[in-house]
Structure 1
């Protein structure tokens, strides 16, 4: 074990856990040097199994031979910074979940065309900026058989710490990338696009025509403003989830789970 006991909150090697913003961690100018923070032993373990490289760990002393032991043993050469619960809470600004954080190196993202080449059901997240919703959408995508997730540049970073935590690590399981072209470009790859939106032309999510499509891209937008009009107009289908009690819509994360289940490939 490479255990380093912190003597000061200002030590430069732990700035990644305290003073760097999510944007600085992501490093938009040079994504290959980007970092993200994984939180809790379960989530860190999933990330390690998915091939993400650990840079350092931040762990409460009592968890070194407890909840974090398996993680530390799996990363014998990785520095483990430690201190009291109070010191680490002062450093990070919050009490650690299960007492351990891990700074990890980002991977290069794939071209969306490569990711979608053999996919049959994909999700497109368009303009969703709430980190909790992003994490929940990924968790549903993993559980319900979505082949990959694409995000428009106006969407939240999936490797945001809270998004990773809410996803329970499933962000490391579902292939994902940014789509740097109009969503309509998916049609050139043989996908039919379905915008989840309330319009006069929306069909029910259980419409047989949707389920019969061999390749389907489900477009999800923020529950506040919804999808942009041009996205809806350019989609092959517009679909809605039938509601009761006069409810007009669901949170985008809940709606994604319903849509993923209803439009899953049935003969896998």
Structure 2
């Protein structure tokens, strides 16, 4: 009888061990439930907000990049809303707050800086103009077919901002170059219209190097009815020219 009881106890113990340790058992253990219930995913919007916030620092270099901190703020607010709604499933509140704070600093700081530059960048005695004013429009043209605005500016001191179109070969110490108003035409092989370019001829000792940065040019505007020859093969002639004495 004693031997029978001992054998029965051993069988029961082995059965319990096999149930607990059987890796093929279809019944999940309590620890598995615990691990699954505590799993949290990183909120993608929080990560995006942090990335756009860092990229938003470039807004201090050019106004066109001010869209980046705006996106950083939008993604940060979306992330905080999602994390608040699903606190047990999502993490990333710290990244979202970082993205929100840095994006706000970039947006407000760059906006204030560019506003100050805009208010003070035009030298005294110069008139601010834009490339849009030089395009043919519904305002009409003069007897020679030029925009009336361009004809009115002939001989005036003007101030204009744009990009240096890469010349053929020489890229440093430029005394004359073609300026365009669009970043794509400048740096990505665009095909600007003849009324979208201005020939710049520097009259001072200043020179310009080709680069992606925005240039600020001041000087006397000239309208060339018969067009003037250009050094660039891509743009064989130009209607507008500025004899520059202010280069930044």
Instruction: Report the TM-score range of the alignment, normalised by the length of the smaller protein.
Output: under 0.3
Specify the structure having the higher radius of gyration (Cα): 2
Structure with more relative contact order (C-alpha pairs < 8 Å, separation 6 or more): 1
TM-score for both structures, normalised by structure 2: 0.22
